[in-house]
Structure 1
Amino acid sequence: MSHSIFVEQLTPDGEVLHRSKVTHLPITIGRAYDNDIILDDPHTAAHHAQIELNQLDELIIADLGSYNGITYANTRENFFVVGGDNIYRLGHTRLRIRTANYKVAAEVTDLTNHRWEGLLPALTGLALLLVTGLLSTWLADLNQGTLSKYLLELVSVFGFAIGWSGIWALFGKLFTGHARFGRHLFIASAGLAFLELWEHLSGLVAYAFSWEALLTFSVHPLIFICAIVLYFHFLTAGNKRPNRLKIYLAAIAILGSAITMTKEYQASNHLSDELYMSRIYPPAVRISRDHSLEEFMADMQSLKEKVDGERKDNPEKDGAEKKSSEKDNPDQDGGDAVESDAPADTPTKPESNN
């Protein structure tokens, strides 16, 4: 009886490394060269397993007495009834067995915009870089800048984006055979534009609505924007596990934020990047209501009471701070006291020779 059996060797991510078609049973699997399927895995036996029909005419994969055996779903058995979607592990090798009548999934709709390739995204990215570089230089320029200053800023931005995109294009060419430099350049340009937009827009919104957290925790949104940019770079470079990639990048972004807050807390006993809003805009930008002098004085009084309470609760700390201040400035109090005890006009008594 003739059979068409396909034995597939898979990667840990489920991608097919090699597919072998065999038209007879039984099928032997192992490292020895007299097997039908030869494995290059030192963790498999010379004759590790065999694919055959059992008494119920079911296709099974059976162990031939190997040391590491056959595992499916973290369970080791002497044999398993073959399922088209089941993945069996022999040593470090992952196998999937299918017959010719296996029904494949329906065709997946191609959502890729193939027109968005090559020159069009590259030119769009360069235009974004041009606008972003000129705008950021103009906003940061307090004086009348020269043409060379703007050109130098554009050259640095263009050089960084092109170099960064070139690295990703090389990465994609090596692993997928497609460089897609234009898309990578557009992704990098869009990321830089969003970073600049967030830097200026967050300060403006924070000042307008008195949302201090937008400025005092300004680093964390930048970390997540960079994670999003990396996500699209990996997808363009050929990553086929977007859901897993999202989890990895989100975990890295959260870890980066946690490390940033830890470093800030060690340096200033605060989790925020800045202790106060340092960017001032014209009063016409303000949307939140102004606070009266009475409210300001009430806030100062509550702050004074809080500080006085901490001094009462920790008098030793307050005394240590005073001693430290006197040690750093010895002439501030001690020198003046010595000078006041000895008037300048008082004659000194000569020493006796006896």
Structure 2
Amino acid sequence: MGEEEVNAPLAIVEVLDRDGQVRHAQRVPSWPLSIGRALDNELSLGDPYLAPHHCVIELDANGLGLRVLDSANGVQIAGARHLRAGEREALADGEHAVEISAGRTRLRLRRPGDALAPELPLAASATLLRRGAPVLAAGAGLALALAFETWLASDPDVFLRTLGTTALTTVMGAAVWIGLWALLSKLFTRQTHAGWHLRVFLFSSLAWMVVGALPGVIAFALSWPWVSDFGFIAGYAIGAAALYYHLLGVEPSRPRLMRGVAVTAFVLGTALTLWKQEQRNERLGAELYLSSFQPPALRLARPVPADRFAAELAALQPLLDKKAKEENATENGASDDE
């Protein structure tokens, strides 16, 4: 047995920052390894949410395990199992390092058998085309979609002027949006992640425009008005996904919490919109009819016979009469008050 093998540590316990960067690494020459605020621990930490002797990683007949000592806050392992005082969890050899949360401190236990993630390339070592191709493609797609939408909505005489205004507004809005998210990332992770936020903005904006146009086309082609009525839900889903990925650039170490925030925003936004439409229109759908007609070539549904169409219209007569009486009663009441 060589000198290197004798001096090789049994494990390394890393103290992580909130962004997952290693702040301190503690070599473990032998077991047990005690963790806490007291100075007689092998790993002494200044976290006020730790007990003087918080937990210990020990080796016994059952193998390596973590045991919680006299602690009120306990220990969380791998973001899932929460151990209370006196409980023990086996730390079986696996393919990945084990993350441990004790108090407000994040620890990572690395052992010789744990697999290492591949080396990340530096920005300079990757080709510019490979890194920038998806961003350029998304940017070009968004620009073409905005140009096409502007062309449909404007007169030919003012198309170029309207397009310039739209392009300038979009670029300025994107710069402010990405800059704010980059500032938040800088505050929390010490890195701007501007490229990440730019990609999220481009892909989510392009997806938003697609899901904004598709419901009307599908509703017209198949005579499914409900697709157009509730098409806004798909837009909210895109917005929630964009919010989740933006938040990952700000707080990458808590994906479950960020996912919960995005899902909550989606549910609340959808519920409030449905409630508002019910209060305003007495229906959950967003539109009473298609706001725009699509090219006839896209029509796939069979035409409705005239007698069937008239019969379906006749079924609306009682509802219309009821609405008319309610409006007349309201107007008469207002006149009496006057």
- TM-score w.r.t. the length of structure 1 is 0.68
Looking at structure 2, the residues matched to 200 and 130 of structure 1 have their Cα atoms a distance apart, in angstroms, of 16
* Unmatched 5+ stretches in structure 2: 1-5
- Who is 2:140 aligned against? 127
1:83 has 2:83 as partner: no
Corresponding residue to 1:265 among 274, 278, 284 = 278
- Conserved? CA contact 1:128–1:190, under 8 Å: no
- Conserved? CA contact 2:19–2:188, under 8 Å: no
Looking at structure 2, the residues matched to 242 and 230 of structure 1 have their Cα atoms a distance apart, in angstroms, of 12
Offset of residue 78 of structure 1: 4.2
1:209 has 2:222 as partner: yes
- Conserved? CA contact 2:71–2:85, under 8 Å: no
Looking at structure 2, the residues matched to 249 and 24 of structure 1 have their Cα atoms a distance apart, in angstroms, of 44
- Who is 2:268 aligned against? 255
1:223 has 2:236 as partner: yes
SS in 1 for 2:157: coil
CA RMSD for the aligned pairs? 4.5
- Conserved? CA contact 2:219–2:225, under 8 Å: yes
- Conserved? CA contact 2:68–2:84, under 8 Å: no
- Who is 1:324 aligned against? 330
With 78-87 and 15-24 compared, the bigger mean Cα shift is at 78-87
Change (3 A) 1:82 1:94: farther
SS in 2 for 1:327: helix
Looking at structure 1, the residues matched to 43 and 22 of structure 2 have their Cα atoms a distance apart, in angstroms, of 15
- Conserved? CA contact 1:180–1:236, under 8 Å: yes
Change (3 A) 1:77 1:233: closer
The one-letter code matched in structure 2 to 1:293 is: A
Q: Which has more radius of gyration?
A: 1
CA deviations on 1:287-330 (whole Å, 9 max, x unpaired) are: 3222233122212333335678xx7xxxxx99876543333457
- Who is 2:52 aligned against? 46
* Aligned length, in residue pairs: 319
List aligned pairs for 1:1-354, cutoff 5 A.
4-9=10-15, 18-23=24-29, 27-48=33-54, 66=70, 68=72, 73-76=81-84, 78=86, 80=88, 83=91, 93=105, 102-105=112-115, 107=117, 114-115=126-127, 120-142=133-155, 144-145=157-158, 147-172=160-185, 179=192, 181-182=194-195, 184-233=197-246, 239=252, 249-281=262-294, 283=296, 285-304=298-317, 322-328=328-334
CA deviations on 1:129-161 (whole Å, 9 max, x unpaired) are: 432332111111146325332211110012122
CA deviations on 1:105-131 (whole Å, 9 max, x unpaired) are: 365698999546665455444433432
- Who is 2:3 aligned against? none
Change (3 A) 1:319 1:254: closer
Change (3 A) 1:302 1:181: same
With 193-202 and 133-142 compared, the bigger mean Cα shift is at 193-202
